[in-house]
Structure 1
């Protein structure tokens, strides 16, 4: 049995399309594996997947393009034919353009008596559709009859299994090129494509199954993955049981700065999340009007009314890390407090209005963690949030180059960029699309910084912990999830020795 892996056990290495093509080339040319052999193995893996998606399926339609993705589709069709299923291939594009191994597989299917016709409509009797239209090389928007065909696939009630990548999805960015197939499952081969896991990738792919097509492990040695996938199952191993002799001073003192008039909730959520994530002490610097109310609601937080930047000095002197931004506002008060925090040498997490202020008056530092959502990222780069989402990898990398430090770009497939690596967190769910989630994340990362974790480790652990807590909450439903619902789960998750 070859290496076929479900979403929760996928490899951590992610690649750009050009890198996967190079892996293909190495396997074929350097290790003498015939291209047709790889194509047949891909088809076998996809055929196995479709039988898991729809056990007992009797009638399938395979939609093929003219490239190698279509060749994989012809292999699936022949296997379906041989197993006794009713099967037909709907061919998109000029069949005279099919060449190489794809042509060989298409001819083998035809010789076996397989039905092939130009794409017209998908039969009502079809119980499952296989998408073999476009592979990883698609770079332009889908138009004309190709667009109509993808729309017809999506309109049919049968589930769709995509070969390698859903057609219409950009393999490097995860963006939809006009239209993309909505698959319930995707069989990905040789190397996982980075676009499957961010942007619209998760919407289009459904569950992802990986098959290495039995290529030698040596083919991967010369190509460094463009991105590494991270999750809480791995990140949690950094947390070790505490010594019996431990005291609060061993686990750092986080100062959370924010909460302008009307925004006490934001700074409180950040501070409470920090306390539940293991910080030894948490102080809050906020408006005088908010300090007493926060102390009453959560007496473990040491709240100070701070109306001037000078009043921050003694609090900064006691802290081991700072989180600033939740509810900070962009007025004079927020500007002054941010200026004073940035004068310190403490490790800092910046979020929300701290990022909006930084966008107006940019500077660079390697002593901070920046945690923008796409809107804030757009302001930091002087572009629209929609442009950020068109290529999240590029946007996060641009922010890091412009501002320094470690950058966490929120959204589906949260990205973390340092000076020399890009990481992608796969924890989290759509229930997190509600107010206050970013404030909780700021507190989580700040707490880990205060406990002595490095900038990068605090960011990766924080992103995954935050997402994993939301996944726990989502067990009772995504709709109606509140940011504060995550806080009890944080405590459970940061105690892996008792969280079973």
Structure 2
């Protein structure tokens, strides 16, 4: 489930540095005081997570992140804990507040040494030690240098748990990508502003649990207007933040009030996908659900979902009159890429109805033949990274290198609302980008996207605008997967397992 303790506002590293500077220059908080607050936040989190830790090993770099580490070491020494700082370079080269923090650690009797062999040092570390990652902060640009690469690799071989200061070293705080090598932390404590890259891409595999501490800057009255000038880059969302958009049903409700959503898909061999999309759509609360599919799937879908109106269509010409009835169309689940598939997409695109485009609907769109120069405002595109790469004519690696940029590029090229799926799903419209840190690895199985497309279509049919329907659909979908995992575990989780929980969450 989405972590309610994290703030909704997300920032790029440059913006967080700006917030830090404003706190010092406008708020009048000395930099060393902020550093000591950060060190205290990490140290307190460490003690709460590992109350029986016998030893603390701080791995320090050469910048302000190292300064936070020296503060942590000093606080540990004050409590008479066994503590040592292992530095990647001579701490005498530290400047400003980081040098002051180093002196603070020395005053408290902390042992500081420059590492000669990281692998040898880490081989001596056991599970009773907690490693503090204070190597690299948010200023990392490009791949980590060889000396840091060696240190990080050695840290990752240790059996001791790691707590990361602000961000696991080696992660890009703007994109969530690993810059050559990154520390695998069990806990990350981040400060001032929540970095957007911590919640998407590769980052969730490295951050462990994330805790946020604003270092009390929100309590400084004279800072309020200055901090407000730094607008968030993006927004973290949750089911609760959008569910109020679903209004209570009136006592005299009838099915006509809640829309009619049509699913189009189910080419030969893919009938299950459109069936799951239809069931998820129906369970989201839509008034009427219909399906246009290959004729051989009419009976199986009716057996699975007798409430649906299912029509077998052999051509786009047969589909055309059916498109006069729905209020929204979901096309793509099990659509395939045959001539039949292309006719289905042509007819759907020709309508003025809101569309949810998924799976092979996106792959056909990417080819540029069936729907050339495709751009419209009333559709939601739901690509995974592979489909996104085809839509932008690049590689999956390019998409994952900066998911935020990819989501914006997709929206600018195709219009409407874009849902870039994956760890830390992104939802982008023309103005903003939203991040949903929901779901779990059990969702890596076939059919998950079909269920999501059906839910989004059902919410649009019930009167939600495209952006809100996409945001709520993504959050409910991920939260439902988390609830399903509580009952049966991640391995073997099926897309259809989510559907009862989706209904439960939308009614909670």
TM range (shorter): over 0.9
Give the structure 1 partner of residue 201 of structure 2: 199
Q: Do the aligned residues in 1 keep the contact of 2:5 with 2:211 (CA within 8 Å)?
A: no
1:447 equivalent to 2:458? Answer yes
Find the partner of 1:155 among 151, 154, 157: 157
Q: Do the aligned residues in 2 keep the contact of 1:323 with 1:446 (CA within 8 Å)?
A: yes
Give the structure 1 partner of residue 417 of structure 2: 406
Give the structure 2 partner of residue 245 of structure 1: 252
Find the partner of 1:20 among 16, 31, 37: 16
1:328 equivalent to 2:335? Answer yes
Give the structure 2 partner of residue 230 of structure 1: 237
1:492 equivalent to 2:499? Answer no
Deviates more, 1:458-467 or 1:86-95: 86-95
Show the 5 A alignment for 1:140-289.
Answer: 140-215=142-217, 216=220, 218=224, 219-289=226-296
Give the structure 1 partner of residue 345 of structure 2: 338
Deviations 1:42-72 (A, max 9, x none): 0000000100121122211001111000000
In 1, distance between residues paired with 2:304 and 2:216? 58
In 1, distance between residues paired with 2:30 and 2:497? 53
In 2, distance between residues paired with 1:64 and 1:84? 20
Give the structure 1 partner of residue 35 of structure 2: 39
| Number of equivalent positions | 491
In 1, distance between residues paired with 2:469 and 2:309? 23
Runs of 4+ in 1 over 3 A off after TM superposition: none
The alpha-carbon deviation at position 448 of structure 1 amounts to 0.5
The alpha-carbon deviation at position 466 of structure 1 amounts to 0.6
Deviations 1:98-141 (A, max 9, x none): 10000011012112221000123134255100000000010111
In 1, distance between residues paired with 2:132 and 2:254? 59
1:58 equivalent to 2:54? Answer yes
In 2, distance between residues paired with 1:407 and 1:464? 15
Give the structure 1 partner of residue 7 of structure 2: 11
Q: Secondary structure at the match of 1:329?
A: coil
In 2, distance between residues paired with 1:360 and 1:442? 21
In structure 2, stretches of 5+ residues that fail to align are: none
Give the structure 2 partner of residue 86 of structure 1: 82
Deviations 1:312-342 (A, max 9, x none): 2222111000000011111111111101111
Q: Do the aligned residues in 2 keep the contact of 1:253 with 1:281 (CA within 8 Å)?
A: yes
Q: Do the aligned residues in 1 keep the contact of 2:442 with 2:490 (CA within 8 Å)?
A: yes
The alpha-carbon deviation at position 405 of structure 1 amounts to 0.7
Q: Secondary structure at the match of 1:186?
A: strand
Deviations 1:147-185 (A, max 9, x none): 111111111111100000000000000000111001111
1:466 equivalent to 2:467? Answer no
In structure 1, stretches of 5+ residues that fail to align are: 1-5
In 2, distance between residues paired with 1:53 and 1:296? 51
In 1, distance between residues paired with 2:352 and 2:500? 32
Q: Do the aligned residues in 2 keep the contact of 1:259 with 1:267 (CA within 8 Å)?
A: yes
Show the 5 A alignment for 1:379-458.
Answer: 379-458=390-469
Q: Secondary structure at the match of 1:81?
A: helix
The alpha-carbon deviation at position 32 of structure 1 amounts to 1.1
In 1, distance between residues paired with 2:333 and 2:390? 17
Alignment root-mean-square deviation, CA: 1.2
Q: Secondary structure at the match of 1:494?
A: helix
